[in-house]
Structure 1
Amino acid sequence: MKKRIGKRPICLEEYVPINGISQFLYHLGTRRDNPVMLFLHGGPGSVESLFTRTFQDKWEEIYTVVHWDQRGAGKTLARHPDQFPTMDVLLQDLYEVVQYLKAKYSKRQLVILGHSWGSVLGSLFIRKHPEDAAYYVGVGQVVNMLENERVGYQKVKEAIVLSGDRRSLKQLESIGEYPGENIVFNREFLKKCGKVRKLQGKYNLAVKIGIGIWFTVFQSPIFRFSDITSFLNLAKANAYLHQFLGSFNLREEPAVYQVPIYYILGGNDWQAPFVIAQQYFEEIAAPRKGIVILPDAGHMTMMDQPDSFYDALRNISRMEESNA
């Protein structure tokens, strides 16, 4: 266990025994009696514990926020480079993390926030264990991976055609049929997907991994050089999860949830197109639900518009407090 002295009363890094291996948790908060939010990062394998300074300070006034580097990701992968997750294993990991945090903070339930891949994991978890979730917040919510890629491809094609960018159009057309009738995360698909993401990034429709991202990572108080190794190994470590993700479709089951559901979406997110989540949201039956679309935010919604994102979270928190 490793503690850090900071301005926050709750500021803790630790490795906890979870489902047979030690897994990394990063806690930040201002009051122990605040609700505990478990942040489920994207990817699979792309930890967001290294980005907390870019968006999270205000959150910590209303939540104790805990980041978990999942099996096959970040500091957990660095410590266990041969432990690769399957979906069943990861859901069990998550269950044990939740039980640990409930006991640590004396909470009956946690707030679950899932971003991108984390929204897949979070949506499945709250269906399986609704008793553990006070409410769920989906960000960059994934509903159907195949539909995501089809809609995102058409959007970037429209943008390229409207701009008269013949060079980019030629690059896009060279990819051929995309994404196809189904998604298999093999080398051919990953190559095509990489080209689509690059063009989406050019038109600010998807995340661009540039020097700015790495500068933010290097500034994190918990950054270690082993984090770079984990980033380079994340595709191999999460191969089983990528295959699961390729066929993922929330609509395979009725959109009925036993916990309140909230979505905060980027109105310029075409990596996990917000229009798909917006349509699915209308189908949801839940004790309470709400949706906020931030017009100038993309897939990294909380980093793109941190103040507006915080306002949305604060309103959700107040709504849930009034219904407690």
Structure 2
Amino acid sequence: MLVTVITAACATIAASAATLLSHRAIVRSGNSRRLRITGPHGVDEQYFTRIGGLDQWLSVRGEDRAHPVVVELHGGPGSSNAILANVSRDWERHVTLVRWDMRGTGKTLRRSGAAAQGEMTFDRLVRDAVEVVEHVRERLGADRVVLLGCSFGSAVALRVARSRPDLVGAYVGTDQKVFDGGRDTSDYDAALERLEKAGKKKEAAAVREMGPDQRAWSAEQFSHFSRFASATDPHTFAAMKSVVMKSLWFSPLHSLREIVTFFKGFMASAAVLPDTASFDDRADGTRFGVPFFVVQGACDLVNTPARARAFFDEVQAPVKEFTLIEGAGHFAAYRHPGVFLDVLRTRVLPALAGSR
């Protein structure tokens, strides 16, 4: 009798898995068709190139090579945006979108393995980013690029835009990350309060044990806090399910094994976080020689719009604009890609043309 029950249960699980994978295959096929770029002036390239002594993965996509070039720096660290190709498909009708899996992330991580990622520091990521922009400019014949920094990637992009205006035509930060040398602990306090209100006693105890001084946190503690903060932010948690996880599962560019690698990227990249605890963006300078844009979710509790706005107000730039996406938390530009595209078309690209 027991054998019969176990056999039946296994058959049910196998049938459910087969159905799930079949549905995934159908949706991925449709997404693959939507991603096709067939026009004579288009570009659709995915390849590895040597950046910082490591083979790193790039995607270059757009309907017309003559369009402005946007180089996107993903967040995390370790959270590849390559999975979001379908979400941002309409952007590629107006710009050439370059995506890069940083060292410790996605296809770059899978190519060489965690042990071969080399120097895992924030400074190394910044130097890699400069090399990527230089490579893209040469490959596409672009004078300067729009540098799009997303969440943690905005901290990297901010430093490239500040130090290398000769490479960057405009800066766009979304889910903007701002470092303040540890002076402001409001994000820590708010996350702890949300955990306590939700009855997450174990998680709240872990956050209290960390303490508010991030300079004393380990890489593992940074990762835990990020997870706790995101999970207790309702808008961000909803975006993670409906945008990030859904895109990952149905991405035609990623195999099942690469889905596993996606999650390994967070662990491999966490080593860069302790370096950032004492960073101070204001001390580093608020003067930028390029047009400066921030697009932030009005309800983002991970990188709050108040903190981003306070920094933005001190920025001196030829042109600057701050846009709130109402009803959005973290991942605002990808939860509302049409709204972001409108900002890109009507605000950023005209400023890019005027800055040349």
Q: Deviations over 1:231-268 (max 9, x none)?
A: 23224422431112333321222311111111111101
In the alignment, structure 1 residue 213 sits paired with structure 2 residue 257: no
- What is the aligned-residue identity percentage? 26
Residue deviations 1:96-148 (CA, integer Å, cap 9, x gap) = 21111111111111110000111011011112211000011000111127769
- Is the alpha carbon distance of 1:166 and 1:227 closer, same or farther for their aligned partners in structure 2, counting shifts above 3 Å? closer
> Which aligned pairs between 1:48-87 and structure 2 lie closer than 5 A?
48-54=81-87, 56-81=88-113, 82-84=116-118, 85-87=120-122
Encode CA deviations 1:76-108: one digit per residue, 9 max, x unaligned: 010021214222322222222111111111111
- Change in 2 beyond 3 A, CA 1:189/1:99: closer
SS at match of 2:89: coil
| Matching of residues 194-205 of structure 1 within 5 Å | 194-200=227-233, 203-205=234-236
CA contact (8 A) 2:214 2:277 kept: yes
Shift of 1:59: 1.3
Unpaired runs of 5+ residues, structure 1, are none
Aligned residues: 315
User: Aligned pair in 2 of structure 1 residues 258, 158: CA closer, same or farther (>3 Å)?
Assistant: same
The equivalent position to 1:103 in structure 2, one of 134, 138, 159, is 138
Q: For residue 242 of structure 1, what is the amino acid of its counterpart?
A: L
State how far apart, in whole Å, the 2-side matches of 1:196 and 1:299 are: 11
Alignment check: 8 A CA contact 2:239 2:330 kept: no
**Shift in Å at residue 178 of structure 1?**
6.3
Equivalent position of 2:49 in the other structure: 16
Residue 306 of structure 1: aligned partner: 337
CA contact (8 A) 1:143 1:248 kept: no
Q: Residue 149 and residue 177 in structure 1: after superposition, are their counterparts in 2 closer, same or farther (change >3 A)?
A: farther
Q: Is the 8 A contact 1:133 1:259 kept in 2?
A: yes
TM-score using structure 2 length: 0.79
**Within 1, Cα distance between the matches of 2:183 and 2:97?**
29
Higher alpha-carbon Rg: 2
8 Å CA contact 1:35–1:110 kept in 2: the answer is yes
What is aligned with 1:89?
124
Indicate the RMSD between aligned Cα atoms, in angstroms: 2.8
Pairs within 5 Å for 1:107-146: 107-144=142-179
Q: Provide TM-score, normalisation by structure 1.
A: 0.86
CA spacing shift, 1:147–1:300, aligned 2, 3 Å: farther
From the superposition, tell whether residues 168 and 243 of structure 1 become closer, same or farther in structure 2 (CA, over 3 Å): closer
The Cα shift of 1:153 comes to: 4.2
Moved more, 12-21 or 40-49: 12-21
